[in-house]
Amino acid sequence: INALETTQEIAETSTLEPQPFVVFFAYQFYDLNRIIVPQTVQGLLFALVAVLIICSVMLVHPFSVFMAALLLGMIIVNLLGSLVWWNIDLNSVSAINLTMAIGLVIDYSAHILHYFGTLDHTLSRRERSILALQEMGPPVFMGICTTLLGVIPLAFANNEIFRTFFRQFLTIVFVGGSHGMILLPVLLAYVGPSIPRNKTTKIAADLKASVTDAEV
């Protein structure tokens, strides 16, 4: 990277005509290493903001959005740490997988958060957490299993890119699924949000009306 930057500086300050420029096949990889960290951070932030904007519209309670953001932050930290555990370098492939992971793992939490928020607030948090897990747990678990089944063949690939994809997605499924189906219900049982019954009834009525309009 230092050699690339020094060479570029020499070319830019040169008084030769025409203006010289740097060409070397390895510089494309050096340039990638130079920008990969800020580009990865930027991609993660953009994906996180986009997901939270959608969650703020779809989830019932603002505190549910905060809990979704908290879980996403914890999952991202785990995924970044898994790069060291798997001995995976931060490159274009791993950075893309990290960015895609945000859209994938939110699915494991958003359904449970949304269903929890629509339940009768007269029930205890523990009861609503159990009901939410009973109702939304099986489809979320099936989603985890089908994603895992889809990437298992990549474990036997000879290409390093495919093996990297498998290792990262295995971690994404495990970390995202455990946070959504184990940690989240426990958090909801203690600090889950509550909304009045009349609001949940209105939400259910609005959803029913929108489905009826779509069918018509």
pLDDT digit string, tens, across residues 135-191? 999 999 999 999 999 999 999 999 888 999 999 999 999 999 999 999 999 999 999
Peptide bond into 196 cis (omega under 30): no
The DSSP call for residue 59 is S
pLDDT of residue 182: 94
Judge whether 154 and 162 are in contact, CB under 8 Å.
yes
Contacts 24+ apart (CB under 8 A), 132-139: 132/185, 132/188, 133/181, 133/185, 136/111, 136/112, 137/112, 137/181, 139/111
Residue ranges of the chain with per-residue pLDDT less than 50: 198, 200-201, 204, 211, 216
Quote the pLDDT of residue 34: 82
What is the rounded distance in angstroms from the CA atom of residue 124 to the CA atom of residue 121? 7
- Cβ distance 90 to 58 under 8 Å? no
pLDDT at 59: 86
Q: Name the token pair of 64.
A: 């549910």
Please provide the distance, in angstroms rounded to a whole number, between the alpha carbons at the two ends of the chain.
61
Apex 137 CA angle, 135 and 142, nearest 5: 120
Question: How far is it, in rounded angstroms, from Cα 5 to Cα 7?
Answer: 5
- What does pTM read for this prediction? 0.78
HSE (side-chain half, CA atoms, 13 Å) at 57: 5
Joined tokens for residue 45: 């932030």
Q: What is the DSSP annotation of 82-141?
A: HHHHTT---SHHHHHHHHHHHHHHHHHHHHHHHHHHHS-TTS-HHHHHHHHHHHHHHHHH
Structure tokens at 121: 């607030």
- pLDDT at position 21, please? 74
Instruction: Kindly state the tokens that stand for 78.
Output: 């785990």
User: Do 168 and 86 touch, CB atoms closer than 8 A?
Assistant: yes
What does DSSP assign to residue 66? H
Residue 1: per-residue pLDDT: 64
